[in-house]
Amino acid sequence: MIDIAGILMSNMSYLILITLGGALISWSVHFVPVGGAPAAMAQATGIGTGTVQLAAGAGLTGLVTAGAMMQVTDNMALIIASGAVGAMIMISVTMMVGALVYTYGVGCPPASAKVKYDPITKDRQDLYVSQGTEGHGLPTVSFVSGVIGGALGGFGGAVIYYSLMSIENGLPLVDLVGIASVFAVGIFFVNSVIPSYNIGGTIEGFHDPKFKRFPKAVISSLIATFVCAILAVLSIGGL
Amino acid sequence: MSAGGSGAAAEAIPQNKIIAFGVLGGIIGIYAAYFLVDMVGQYMSFIGALGAICGIIWGAAAVRRVASYGLGTGVPSIGILALGMGILAATFGLSVGGVAGPIIALITAALFGLLIGVLANKILKMGIPIMEIAMTEIATAGTITIIGLAIAMTGTFDFAIVLKQVISTGYIAVIFIAGGLAILHPFNANLGPDEKQDRTLIVALEKGALAMVVAGIVASINEGASGSLTILIGLALWYIGFSGYYERVKRDAYVVVGSGQLPTKEELE
Q: Which residues of A touch B92 (CB under 8 A)?
A: 231-232, 234-235
- Taking the whole predicted model, whether its pTM rises above 0.95 is answered as no
Q: How far apart are CA A220 and CA A19, in angstroms?
A: 11
Is residue A163 domain-resident? yes
Q: What is the pLDDT of residues B20-30, one digit of tens each?
A: 999 999 999 99
ipTM: 0.86
Mean pLDDT score, A65-89: 90
Which DSSP symbol is given to B157?
Answer: -
User: How many domains are there within chain A?
Assistant: 1
Continuous segment of H or E residues that includes residue A100: helix A76-100
Give me the residue from A198, A201, A228 closest to B88, CB to CB.
A228
The pLDDT assigned to B4 comes to: 47
Distances (CA, A) of B93 to A197, B88, B90, B267: 28, 9, 5, 64
Q: What is the pLDDT of residues A80-137, one digit of tens each?
A: 999 999 999 999 999 999 999 999 998 899 998 888 888 888 888 888 988 888 888 8
Q: Residue B1 pLDDT > 50, yes or no?
A: no
Q: Which residues of A touch B77 (CB under 8 A)?
A: 50-52, 193, 196-197
DSSP B220-263: TTSSS---HHHHHHHHHHHHHHHHHHHHHHHHHSS------PPP
Helix axes A140-166, A51-72, angle to 10 degrees: 50
Mean pLDDT score, B114-126: 89
The pLDDT assigned to A1 comes to: 57
Q: How far is A148 from chain B (nearest CA, A)?
A: 22
Q: How far apart are CA B105 and CA B82, in angstroms?
A: 14
> What three-state secondary structure class fits B70?
coil
Is residue A121 domain-resident? no
Mean pLDDT score, A181-210: 87
Q: Are residues B162 and B103 in contact, defined by beta-carbon separation less than 8 angstroms?
A: no
Is residue A170 domain-resident? yes
Is residue A152 domain-resident? yes
Is residue A178 domain-resident? yes
Q: What is the pLDDT of residues A25-66, one digit of tens each?
A: 999 989 999 888 888 888 888 888 888 788 778 778 888 898
The pLDDT assigned to A85 comes to: 93
Q: How far apart are CA A6 and CA B92, in angstroms?
A: 17
Domain that holds residue A13: 4-32+52-104+142-237
Q: How far apart are CA B243 and CA B253, in angstroms?
A: 15
Q: What is the dihedral sign for C-alpha B36, B42, B44, B47?
A: positive
Is residue A43 domain-resident? no
- Nearest in space to A112 (alpha carbons), one of A32, A25, A205: A205
| Contact pairs from chain A to chain B, CB under 8 Å | 127
Cβ distance of B77 and A185 shorter than 8 Å: no
Going by pLDDT thresholds of 50, 70 and 90, the confidence category of residue B3 is very low
Helix axes B76-97, A214-237, angle to 10 degrees: 30
Going by pLDDT thresholds of 50, 70 and 90, the confidence category of residue B110 is very high
> What three-state secondary structure class fits B88?
helix
Cβ distance of A182 and B87 shorter than 8 Å: yes
Provide the residue type at A2 as one letter: I
- Alpha-carbon torsion, ordered A138, A140, A142, A145, to 10 deg: 150
Give me the residue from A189, A219, A232 closest to B123, CB to CB.
A219
Going by pLDDT thresholds of 50, 70 and 90, the confidence category of residue A7 is confident
Q: How far is A98 from chain B (nearest CA, A)?
A: 20
Give me the residue from B119, B126, B167 closest to A178, CB to CB.
B167
The helix, strand and coil proportions of chain B, stated in percent and rounded to the nearest 5, come to: 75, 0, 25
Going by pLDDT thresholds of 50, 70 and 90, the confidence category of residue B6 is low
Tell me which of B94, B104, B111, B119 to substitute to probe the interface with A (most A C-beta atoms closer than 10 Å).
B119
Q: Residue A154 pLDDT > 80, yes or no?
A: yes
Q: Which residues of A touch B192 (CB under 8 A)?
A: none
Cβ distance of B120 and A182 shorter than 8 Å: no
Is residue A125 domain-resident? no
Q: Are residues B207 and B242 in contact, defined by beta-carbon separation less than 8 angstroms?
A: no
Give me the residue from B71, B76, B84 closest to A197, CB to CB.
B71
Using alpha carbons only, give the angle A25, A30, A34 rounded to the nearest 5 degrees: 110
